[in-house]
Amino acid sequence: MVNSPSETIFLKSIDTYNVIKDAKQMFELLDFVVEELGKDNVMQIMIDGATGKMLEKETKVILVSFCISLP
């Protein structure tokens, strides 16, 4: 989803069910998407665990919000 003051749009969907097996792979995918959009155009990513920590360390500008899973 892309949200701006003028509108919210759906940008794309990527089915990672059978592809993403670990945090490094998820980081690489999200890093690619950030590069595709342009770092200045991304202000927040919501993710959990190790991938979020990698994104925080790598991007240093984008707000990474950690979400939790409830039982």
pLDDT in tens, 20-44: 778 888 888 888 888 888 888 777 7
Q: What is the pLDDT at residue 1? A: 64
Give pLDDT, residue 71: 59
Q: Which residues pair with 3 in a beta bridge?
A: 8
Q: Hunting for tokens 């490094």 — which residue is that?
A: 24
pTM for the whole structure:
0.67
pLDDT, one tens digit per residue, over 51-66 is 878 887 887 767 777 7
- The better pLDDT of the pair 1, 44 is held by 44
Spatial distance between the Cα atoms of 5 and 60, rounded to a whole number of angstroms: 24
Q: How confident is the model at residue 70 (pLDDT cuts 50, 70, 90)?
A: low
Cα separation values, 29 from 21, 25, 50, 56, Å: 12, 6, 14, 15
